[in-house]
Structure 1
Amino acid sequence: MTADLGMPVPASPGAVRVERVVTSGVFELDGGSWEVDNNVWLVGDDHEVLVVDAAHDAEAILAAVGDRRVVAIVCTHGHNDHVNAVGDLVAATGATASLHPADRVLWDQSQAEPPGGELADGMPFTVGDVELTVIHTPGHAPGACCLHAPALGVLLSGDTLFKGGPGATGRSYSDFPTIIDSIRTRLLGLPPETVVLTGHGDPTTIGAEAPHLQEWVARGH
């Protein structure tokens, strides 16, 4: 289903806008499984759309896409709950799904086919008249990436930065000092009013999170 972002993301009729589809399923890693709700973000106008994280339910994502052309599917990282609808979405739309190559170790745990494209730091994606830039932010996963769209004032953060702190680093292929370094050096220098659209849960802003960095370091998660 689509949902109100709950944050002031600029939009006008026909302009590039951000939409959220919330899907539910199971996250599996290291022999454990957890029921989760995921945010799937659609960035686009009335004619084309970029899908960020194809999670759980391809039919729900396709319903939100409608008759728009999918220009690309960006996978912020390779955990199964962020990529388990990729195959069906690629088959239905013909779009290319891209993942940072450092996350193939996670992708290959749940996906039989390789991703069609590779993300790289600084790589641009264009939808409508808006450019989004890939920011490599390892820590939650080695190939974790965010997408920054300055024209919209948004950062699509995947599982790197949440309302209240960094993404989890207690499982395989994650590292707490690395995610703290990624957030400190790659994200907290963005304009404080930047809306952070997260992989799970509610949006936040860079300005709301930046003052708490040392608290996160002190608590260790």
Structure 2
Amino acid sequence: MSPIEHLVTSGTFSLDGGTWEVDNNVWLVGDDREVVVIDPAHDAEAITARIGDRRVVAIVCTHAHDDHVNQAPVLSDRFDAPIMLHPAEAPLWKLTHAERQPDRELWDGQILTVAGIELRVLSTPGHSPGSCCLYVPELGTVFTGDTLFRGGPGATGRSYSDFDTIIGSISRTLLALPADTIVHTGHGAATTIGTEAPHLEEWIARGY
């Protein structure tokens, strides 16, 4: 079994009075005994089926937009697993789950361990105030949520986002990773750090 599993779930994203149809990447990292679930979106039953009878070490939300957290409480209760989120995401989290708090905080430099695999938390604000990525050196992979996609940074045109901040996070933190690091995103196809790095100045010039 691959240490990284992937499923795509479909639903909506709502913020600032608008709603959009979206497909989300949900990621599982672990082995045949235990997993971490990253960004539990839209379809709790599909995610549950993929988890099977494995122990869920944690449910990690890279940020708190509703399409990345809407199934977190259901899965937390079902698998008795803690929800982990950066505390700066509290205003966005409350828009979706006003009566429920995350169980544990994410912070920069924190290491989460599942099946002997270390996931390093990287604080990468900009798309939202407490956006985080998860870097897995031994797998040559970083899970970027909505901070970095194939072709550019995540959107910054809505509440709680900032273009200069996300560019700073990408340039200082993500582009410092090895060029062959695979970027597993919150939506769409994968890319690599080396593929995206040459386009930084272009993104800045375009105000991407």
- Range of TM-score over shorter length: over 0.9
Q: Secondary structure at the match of 1:147?
A: strand
Q: How far apart, in 1, do the equivalents of 2:29 and 2:129 lie?
A: 25
Q: Letter of the 1:66 partner, please give it.
A: G
Q: 1:80 aligns with which of 44, 62, 66?
A: 66
Aligned pairs (5 A) from 1:10-25: 13=1, 17-25=3-11
Which residue number in structure 1 is paired with residue 185 of structure 2? 198
Which residue number in structure 2 is paired with residue 45 of structure 1? 31
Which residue number in structure 1 is paired with residue 80 of structure 2? 94
TM-score normalised per structure 2: 0.98
Tell me the alpha carbon deviations over residues 149-182 of structure 1, each in whole angstroms, 9 at most, x when there is no partner: 0000000000000000000000000000000000
Q: How far apart, in 1, do the equivalents of 2:146 and 2:203 lie?
A: 15
Q: Letter of the 1:32 partner, please give it.
A: G
1:107 aligns with 2:93: yes
Which residue number in structure 2 is paired with residue 56 of structure 1? 42
Which residue number in structure 2 is paired with residue 163 of structure 1? 150
Q: Secondary structure at the match of 1:42?
A: strand
Q: 1:137 aligns with which of 91, 111, 124?
A: 124
Structure 2's unaligned 5+ residue stretches are none
Residue 126 of structure 1 and its aligned partner are, at CA, apart by 0.4
Residue 124 of structure 1 and its aligned partner are, at CA, apart by 0.7
Q: How far apart, in 2, do the equivalents of 1:132 and 1:87 lie?
A: 22
Residue 37 of structure 1 and its aligned partner are, at CA, apart by 0.3
Residue 129 of structure 1 and its aligned partner are, at CA, apart by 1.5
Q: 1:124 aligns with which of 100, 108, 111?
A: 111
Which residue number in structure 2 is paired with residue 150 of structure 1? 137
1:217 aligns with 2:204: yes
Runs of 4+ in 1 over 3 A off after TM superposition: none
Residue 87 of structure 1 and its aligned partner are, at CA, apart by 1.1
Which residue number in structure 2 is paired with residue 175 of structure 1? 162
Tell me the alpha carbon deviations over residues 133-164 of structure 1, each in whole angstroms, 9 at most, x when there is no partner: 10000000000000000000000000000000
Residue 40 of structure 1 and its aligned partner are, at CA, apart by 0.4
Structure 1's unaligned 5+ residue stretches are 1-12
Q: How far apart, in 2, do the equivalents of 1:64 and 1:204 lie?
A: 24
Q: Letter of the 1:71 partner, please give it.
A: V
Question: How many residues in Structure 1 have an aligned counterpart in Structure 2?
Answer: 207
